[in-house]
């Protein structure tokens, strides 16, 4: 079994190459050997959170392989009401948080308070992580996670590993080292990052935070089935014990998503 814990439905910034509807993701899953995706709607991230949440509510009911995240935006506090979708549609499993696209800083106490209300209502939160912007950094997500130990937190994009703006192809493991040092039992890191194609990066990620806190994610439709398979094969090539490999590819996500 393989579960992709981080993907999107719809079109990313109106770019046709980054587009996937429900049937497309169902087809890509078969091509890549993925059993389930957990996705947010691109419209919720780039345009209208509420409208995108409603679109996702409709679309995931029609597909076989999709689960969903409700996107909340502190800049539009009423979006917290969309968390009711977790009650009305059992395919919703948590909340997606994207400070970069929504334009707020996790350092602000008011933002942490708002997201704290979200944490009280959902079992799982997926945080976009991006050190270069300074809006959504690993230390701030870890600070939030420590305040809400009953809510599981996934830090996307290898916790923000590509954080050298002048040297984008050189990995910076500082954020992963911070995750290791914090030792938060409720924090996990996904592999949805172009850095996975850099030799040795995935090995170092697993060395630092361990298979118990690593989860497979792709950021689909930013990548296609061929890249999804490459990511799976890269994880398999680590030569980990079968139990550890299974935790990364589906076991941890299965538990986080309440399956």
| Confidence band, pLDDT 50/70/90 cuts, at residue 141 | very high
Sheet of 66-71, strand order? 19-20, 3-11, 36-41, 66-71, 92-97, 124-127, 152-155, 187-190, 214-215
Asked if 156 and 128 count as a contact pair (C-beta separation under 8 A), the reply is yes
Region 11-19: mean pLDDT is 86
Q: Which long-range contacts (CB under 8 A, 24 or more apart) does 115-121 make?
A: 115/72, 115/74, 115/144, 116/144, 116/147, 116/148, 117/80, 118/72, 118/80, 118/83, 119/144, 119/148, 119/150, 119/151, 120/148, 120/151, 121/83, 121/86
Region 86-108: mean pLDDT is 97
- For the ranges 32-36, 39-43, 103-107, 196-200, the lowest mean pLDDT is seen at 196-200
Fold (topology level) of 3-256: TIM Barrel (3.20.20)
Q: CB-based contacts of 143: which residues, under 8 Å, 6+ apart?
A: 112
Q: 25-36, pLDDT tens digit by residue?
A: 999 999 999 999
Average pLDDT in the chain = 94
- Using DSSP's 3-state secondary structure scheme, residue 91 falls into coil
| Confidence band, pLDDT 50/70/90 cuts, at residue 180 | very high
Region 209-233: mean pLDDT is 96
Phi, psi of 60 (to 5 degrees): -70, -20
- Whether the pTM exceeds 0.75: the reply is yes
- Domain map (residue ranges) of the chain: 3-256
C-alpha span between 3 and 60 (Å, rounded): 16
Region 174-187: mean pLDDT is 95
| Confidence band, pLDDT 50/70/90 cuts, at residue 208 | very high
Strand 3-11 vs strand 19-20: parallel, antiparallel, or unpaired?
antiparallel
Asked if 81 and 53 count as a contact pair (C-beta separation under 8 A), the reply is no
Alpha carbon separation from 233 to 32, 124, 136, 210, 228 (Å, rounded): 11, 27, 30, 18, 9
Q: Taking 90 as the threshold, does the pLDDT of residue 165 lie above it?
A: no
Q: CB-based contacts of 16: which residues, under 8 Å, 6+ apart?
A: none
Asked if 12 and 19 count as a contact pair (C-beta separation under 8 A), the reply is yes
Q: Which long-range contacts (CB under 8 A, 24 or more apart) does 86-89 make?
A: 86/121, 86/122, 88/57, 89/57, 89/60, 89/61
| Confidence band, pLDDT 50/70/90 cuts, at residue 150 | very high
Alpha carbon separation from 204 to 136, 161, 182, 216 (Å, rounded): 22, 11, 17, 15
pLDDT for the residue numbered 163: 62
Per-residue DSSP letter, 89: -
According to DSSP, the residues that pair with 41 across neighbouring strands are: 9
Region 34-59: mean pLDDT is 97
Percent of the chain past pLDDT 90, that is, above it, reads 86
Terminus-to-terminus CA distance in the chain, angstroms? Answer: 12
Phi, psi of 214 (to 5 degrees): -110, 140
| Confidence band, pLDDT 50/70/90 cuts, at residue 197 | confident
According to DSSP, the residues that pair with 187 across neighbouring strands are: 153
Region 19-23: mean pLDDT is 93
When comparing pLDDT for 199 and 248, which is higher? 248
Q: Taking 70 as the threshold, does the pLDDT of residue 7 lie above it?
A: yes
């Amino acid at each position: 079994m393989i579960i992709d814990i981080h993907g999107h439905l719809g079109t990313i910034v109106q770019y046709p190459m980054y587009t996937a509807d429900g049937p497309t993701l169902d087809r890509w899953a078969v091509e890549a050997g993925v059993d389930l995706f957990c996705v947010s709607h691109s419209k919720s991230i780039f345009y209208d959170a509420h409208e995108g949440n409603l679109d996702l509510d409709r679309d995931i009911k029609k597909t076989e392989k999709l689960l969903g995240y409700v996107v909340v935006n502190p800049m539009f506090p009423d979006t917290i009401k969309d968390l009711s979708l977790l009650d009305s549609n059992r395919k919703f499993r948590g909340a997606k948080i994207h400070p970069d696209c929504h334009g707020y800083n996790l350092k602000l106490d008011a933002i942490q308070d708002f997201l704290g209300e979200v944490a009280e209502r959902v079992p799982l939160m997926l945080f976009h992580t991006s050190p270069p912007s300074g809006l959504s950094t690993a230390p701030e997500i870890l600070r939030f996670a420590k305040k809400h130990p009953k809510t599981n937190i996934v830090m996307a994009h290898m916790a923000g590993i590509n954080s050298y703006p002048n040297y984008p192809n050189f990995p910076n493991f500082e954020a992963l080292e911070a995750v290791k040092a914090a030792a938060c039992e409720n924090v996990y890191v996904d592999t949805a990052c172009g850095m996975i194609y850099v030799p040795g990066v995935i090995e170092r990620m697993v060395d630092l935070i361990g298979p118990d806190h690593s989860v497979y994610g792709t950021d689909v439709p930013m990548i296609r089935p061929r890249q999804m398979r490459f990511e799976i094969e890269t994880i398999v090539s680590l030569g980990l014990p079968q139990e550890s490999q299974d935790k990364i590819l589906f076991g941890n996500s299965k538990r986080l998503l309440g399956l």
